[in-house]
Structure 1
Amino acid sequence: FTKAILSNEKIKVFNHGKHRRDFTYIDDIVEGIILTLDNPATHNSHWNSEKPDPGSSNAPWRVYNIGNNKPVELMDYIAALEKALGKKAEKEFLPLQAGDVPETYANVDDLVEQFNYKPNTSIEDGINSFVSWYRDYFKV
């Protein structure tokens, strides 16, 4: 979206902007990873190969969702991006694409419970940091 907005190109907004997504700033993702580093998983001695739990294993590993757990409507994301860029997007509203889902977000309950994970970068702060980086990196 950023490149298109700055280039005066239309952005395609599927589902007429009614999507909700869990946008997560990279610093919050890194924090989630760091929290798990000193706590390696152990095998689940109760794991049953005939009724496997996809979040557990007999092997010493564990899967965590890392995200913000706060879905944001796509139009709010676009509005924050427009504000940070100081420029309105030219939008082409389109229907929901086949196979897409209206809402997704990361359930971080296990990460919160086990490691006190708390993402703290707001969508506005994350976008402002991204736009600052983007302008510096691409010299625009």
Structure 2
Amino acid sequence: MGRPDMAYFGFTNEYFNGEPIKIFNNGDFEHDLYRGFTYVDDIVEGIVSLLDNPPTDEVSSKVFNIGNNNPEKLIVFIETLEKALSKSLDREVVFDKVFEPIKPGDVPATYASTDLLQAAVGFKPETSIEEGLQKFADWYVDYYKVK
């Protein structure tokens, strides 16, 4: 499953509803936006690792970023989702894309710094975007019984 407010879920819903997806990069893939995507199993594993290894120093609590520190180009993410859905459905999936201006306040790249997490418990999320999106696509197609 996944969060319905996230891009991969929204894009998939729009595809099956016959709607175009909105891409906020002006269609400029040379200077594309970069985003970090973290698979939910990696988040769970990070939390469990931290719970199993509480801090032993003077500070009784710390803040850890459990996210992916390997950002992907937005178009790579979209193409990877199309491929994952194509494989799950056993037919080609190509989103109808509408390119719009970047939203005010948007940043060129977002991703996590996992240095503290790695130092504390030796863990960093490793699920590739291909693997994570394929698991999502397989789940979505099965759960919603779409063809």
Quick check: TM above 0.5? yes
Q: Which residue of 1 aligns with 2:78?
A: 78
- Preserved contact between residue 67 and residue 119 of structure 1 (Cα < 8 Å): yes
Amino acid at match of 1:13: I
Question: Which secondary structure does the structure 1 equivalent of 2:53 belong to?
Answer: coil
Moved over 6 A (4+): none
- Preserved contact between residue 10 and residue 91 of structure 1 (Cα < 8 Å): yes
1:113 Cα offset (Å): 1.4
Amino acid at match of 1:103: A
Tell me how many residue pairs correspond in the alignment.
Answer: 126
Structure 2 unaligned blocks of 5 or more = 1-10, 87-92
Report which of the two structures shows the higher radius of gyration computed on alpha carbons. Answer: 1
Pairing 1:29–2:39 present: no
- Preserved contact between residue 114 and residue 124 of structure 2 (Cα < 8 Å): no
1:23 Cα offset (Å): 0.2
Structure 1 vs Structure 2: percent identity of aligned residues? Answer: 51
If the length of structure 1 is used for normalisation, what is the TM-score? 0.83
For residues 6-44 of structure 1, the C-alpha deviation after alignment (integer angstroms, 9 at most, x for no partner) is 222110000236221110101111111111002223574
Partners of 2:65 and 2:96 lie apart in 1 by 34
- Preserved contact between residue 8 and residue 89 of structure 1 (Cα < 8 Å): no
In the alignment, which of 108, 126, 129 is matched to residue 120 of structure 1? 126
- Preserved contact between residue 85 and residue 138 of structure 2 (Cα < 8 Å): no
Structure 1 unaligned blocks of 5 or more = 45-57
Amino acid at match of 1:35: S
Pairing 1:10–2:20 present: yes
Q: Which residue of 2 aligns with 1:50?
A: none
- For the aligned residues, what is the CA RMSD? 1.6
1:114 Cα offset (Å): 1.5
1:3 Cα offset (Å): 0.9
If the length of structure 2 is used for normalisation, what is the TM-score? 0.79
Q: Which residue of 2 aligns with 1:65?
A: 65
1:138 Cα offset (Å): 1.3
